[in-house]
Amino acid sequence: ERAWGWLAAYRDMGYRMLPLSLKGSSDSLDMLKAELAGKTTLVLGPSGAGKSTLTNHLVPGALAATREISQALNTGKHTTTSTTWYWVDKEAKTALIDSPGFQEFGLHHIDARHLSGLMPDIKPFVERCKFYNCTHLHEPGCGVIAAVKSDSSAGSISDRRYKIYRDLFAELDAPKF
Ligand SMILES: Nc1nc2c(ncn2[C@@H]2O[C@H](COP(=O)(O)OP(=O)(O)OP(=O)(O)O)[C@@H](O)[C@H]2O)c(=O)[nH]1
Ligand SMILES: [Mg+2]
Ligand SMILES: [Zn+2]
């Protein structure tokens, strides 16, 4: 329930969410199958997220190795070490690509000043900023900061998303050497 709540900001941005439980039967897998039909899909996520488990559910005979997540670290163990293309159907129209889990998702090709324009929930408020080169971190008259403080559900930005903006900005703005 908590994870579903965290994802509300993404649902509001128009991303479709399918909750899946791969242990025990689930109807949601049928919805996913319908969604993937006729497409090539790359399965992405941190180690231990269940990418190979999902692959084995969708591709009978895939025999992709899966492993318990580390009790000590509560993270995956990088069980999958190479990227593999599987055909889901005999007609070879639907494909699934299982991939090794990532530890870090690099956005280093992005300029910190362009970040706000790339976040769909933050972008609409940028035009309300007083300064054209606003970083949305501390400036007076910032439309983004106003939207974070706003209570209205329509014209607002969630605290969690704004924190992600600030963390990414700091990371992208840090000296590279
Ligand atoms: N309870 C539960 N456990 C799951 C689910 N999906 C996967 N698991 C378990 O999570 C563990 C890790 O799953 P994997 O499929 O190996 O994860 P992965 O994303 O392929 O990991 P890497 O190959 O290391 O990137 C296994 O013990 C799975 O049985 C799920 O929906 N529910
Ligand atoms: Mg795997
Ligand atoms: Zn601003």
Task: Map out the domains of the chain as residue ranges.
Answer: 27-98, 112-173
* Residue 44 CB–ligand 1 contact under 6 Å: no
How far is ligand 2, taken at its centre, from the CA of residue 49, in Å?
8
How far is ligand 3, taken at its centre, from the CA of residue 147, in Å?
10
pLDDT of residue 26: 60
* Residue 99 CB–ligand 1 contact under 6 Å: no
* Residue 69 CB–ligand 1 contact under 6 Å: yes
Q: Whose CA is nearest to atom 24 of ligand 1?
A: 78
* Residue 56 CB–ligand 1 contact under 6 Å: no
Ligand nearest to the CA of 78: 1
How far is ligand 1, taken at its centre, from the CA of residue 87, in Å?
21
How many Å from the N-terminal Cα to the C-terminal Cα in the chain? 42
Q: Is 86 helix (H, G, I), strand (E, B) or coil?
A: strand
pLDDT of residue 101: 86
* Residue 50 CB–ligand 1 contact under 6 Å: yes
Q: What are the CA-CA distances from residue 10 to residues 5, 14, 115 (Å)?
A: 10, 7, 17
The string of pLDDT tens digits covering residues 97-115 is 999 987 777 788 999 999 9
pLDDT of residue 25: 66
All residue ranges of the chain with pLDDT < 70 are: 25-27, 69-76, 153, 177
Report the C-alpha gap between 162 and 145 in whole angstroms. Answer: 9
Report the C-alpha gap between 166 and 173 in whole angstroms. Answer: 10
On whether the CB atoms of residues 72 and 17 are closer than 8 A, the answer is no
Distant-in-sequence, close-in-space partners of 45: CB < 8 Å, separation ≥ 6:
51, 101, 102
| Substitution site in 25, 66, 84, 99 for ligand 1 pocket (most atoms within 8 Å of beta carbon) | 66
pLDDT of residue 19: 87
Ligand nearest to the CA of 20: 1
- Fold topology of 112-173: Ribonucleotide Reductase Protein R1; domain 1 (1.10.40)
pLDDT of residue 99: 92
